[in-house]
Amino acid sequence: MDNPATIEVRHSQTDLTAASLDHSEWRKATPVNITLYWSGAEAPQGRHAEARLLWSEEALCVRYVCNHTEPLVVSSSAQTKKNTLGLWDRDVCEIFIAPDPNAPERYFEFEAAPTGEWIDLAIHTMPDKRETDWEFHSGMTAAARAQKVRVIIAMRIPWDHWIHKPQKGERWRANLFRCVGSGAARGYLAWQPTHTPEPAFHVPSAFGWLRFA
């Protein structure tokens, strides 16, 4: 890493699928620890997660391995054929990416759940409001596996005219998150804490960096 707020995204010659949860390529990626709440306070170890990112000539792939010590908050009738509105109210892993480092307020939001459900959104955050393109569709795919003590969640985000294929050395703004639990005990974890008065992820000024190696 260049500094604590930069993730080195390793280039892979293998174009992984979202379902490649156990592929050996993941061992070559830099582990990114997600251990803090949005406030900056340390979360219990049972809520910690590790993310790894890889990029190929075709896509960006993200895999989360999450500690699992409490009942999952998931849909009892999951569907994975289209995006799932309201996914952010359940257990979910998220990545926000802003391919234009000069416009971090324009970014893309990707979420995936332990059920394999997913959603992708295009966001424009302004001082007084936030605009969301609910019709945005990146072509992302997701996969997940819930085990006794951990949950593995992966996303594959293909390059297109919205999210261009980066050049080696290119830097984007980004942040990674995990939501877990329910009610007053619900936890909102962030790789780069947003330090807002209440839980909030849509804070581009708090984004770290991705560097495509």
Q: Is the pTM of this model over 0.75?
A: yes
204 by DSSP, 3-state: which? helix
Q: What is the pLDDT of residue 10?
A: 98
Q: What is the pLDDT of residue 33?
A: 97
Alpha helices in 85-165 (DSSP H): none
**DSSP secondary structure string for all residues of 60-107:** EEEEEEEE--S-----TT---SS--TTGGGSSEEEEEEES-TT-TTEE
Alpha helices in the chain (DSSP H): none
Which pair of structure tokens corresponds to residue 17?
A: 């699928």
Rounded Cα gap, residues 190 and 37, in angstroms: 6
Which pair of structure tokens corresponds to residue 79?
A: 């569907």
pLDDT in tens, the chain (213 residues): 444 599 999 999 999 999 999 999 999 999 999 999 999 999 999 999 999 999 999 999 999 999 999 999 999 899 999 999 999 999 999 999 999 999 999 999 999 999 999 999 999 999 999 999 999 999 999 999 999 999 999 999 999 999 999 999 999 999 999 999 999 999 999 999 999 999 999 999 999 999 999
CA 139 to chain centre: 16
Domains of the chain, start order: 6-212 (2.60.40.1190)
Least Cα distance to 93 among 161, 150, 176 occurs for: 176
Residue type present at position 27:
R
